């Protein structure tokens, strides 16, 4: 799906992390972890092609379809728009909207809403939904594009415990059903490592950019230095 070699990310021409290497395969779930301001969003923007690497290379499979699910805080929930129209907006760049294409887009949007469990509120206003419901809609918008690689930016941010678990279960179910690769930025270190196949630990303050199997990440000295030996041994994030 995506391969990075000696990749250095940053902005304004300045690197914020050391170079690193990773390969994201089909169906894999990657947890992107690290403290606030570690460089996680910068990596995602680079992976999506929204930012240029400072050095190194990043190669995407020809024809790779990418989707991005932003944090809910990036949404303008004041703007009046129905859920179905919001999902359809994610398909606007996929060709001229002829009558036949709009019909196909509607079908894709409805299937995605069904998959994400958001179909019951398809006709409601996005601004009237709860946090958990809006997150399902964001997932549906990405799924409607039939993406091969989905990048999720803090998908459980600002959710209550029940909604948080529902979204994590949805991510795992859709990943296995669709076979798409998922890159998930998360502050839930323990949950992320348990759910993911592989992990990328970033911390610009300590000069860390480490890709490793999720099951092995806790034993890495870099992880222990950032999160502490107790966290590394017992899998708790406090």
* Per-domain boundaries in the chain: 75-147
**Contact at 8 Å (CB) between 131 and 154?**
no
SS3 201: strand
Dihedral-angle region of residue 63 (phi above 0 means left; psi in -120 to 50 means alpha; beta otherwise):
left
Alpha helices in 27-159 (DSSP H): 40-48, 83-89, 99-115, 131-143
And the tokens for 141?
């918008």
The pLDDT score that the predictor gives to residue 230 is 45
- Say which residues have a Cβ less than 8 Å from residue 85's Cβ, sequence separation at least 6: none
Q: How far is CA 127 from CA 20, 79, 86, 132, 196, in A?
A: 40, 7, 11, 12, 31
Q: Based on C-alpha coordinates, what's the Rg of the chain?
A: 18
SS3 67: strand
Q: Which contiguous run of DSSP H or E holds residue 161?
A: helix 161-178
The pLDDT score that the predictor gives to residue 77 is 64
Alpha helices in 116-150 (DSSP H): 131-143
Q: Chunked in runs of 10, what are the mean pLDDT values of the chain (238 residues)?
A: 95 94 94 94 92 94 91 72 91 60 86 92 92 90 90 88 88 82 93 94 95 94 82 47
């Amino acid at each position: 799906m995506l391969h990075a070699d000696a990749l250095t990310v940053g902005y304004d021409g300045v690197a914020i992390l050391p170079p690193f290497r990773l390969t994201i395969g089909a169906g894999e779930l990657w947890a992107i972890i690290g403290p606030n301001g570690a460089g996680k969003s910068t990596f995602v923007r680079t992976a999506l092609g929204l930012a240029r690497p400072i050095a190194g290379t990043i190669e995407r499979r020809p024809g790779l379809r990418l989707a991005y699910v932003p944090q809910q805080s990036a949404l303008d929930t004041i703007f009046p728009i129905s859920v179905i129209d919001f999902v359809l907006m994610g398909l606007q760049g996929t060709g001229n909207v002829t009558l036949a294409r709009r019909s196909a887009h509607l079908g894709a949007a409805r299937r995605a809403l069904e998959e994400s469990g958001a179909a019951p509120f398809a006709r409601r206003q996005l601004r009237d939904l709860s946090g958990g419901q809006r997150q399902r809609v964001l997932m549906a918008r990405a799924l409607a594009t039939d993406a091969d690689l989905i990048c999720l930016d803090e998908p459980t941010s600002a959710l209550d415990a029940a909604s948080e678990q529902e979204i994590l279960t949805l991510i795992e179910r859709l990943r296995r059903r669709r076979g798409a690769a998922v890159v998930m930025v998360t502050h839930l270190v323990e949950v992320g490592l348990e759910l993911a196949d592989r992990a990328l630990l970033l911390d610009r303050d300590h000069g860390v950019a480490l890709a490793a199997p999720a099951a092995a990440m806790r034993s890495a000295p870099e992880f222990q230095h950032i999160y502490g030996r107790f966290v590394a041994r017992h899998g708790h994030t406090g």
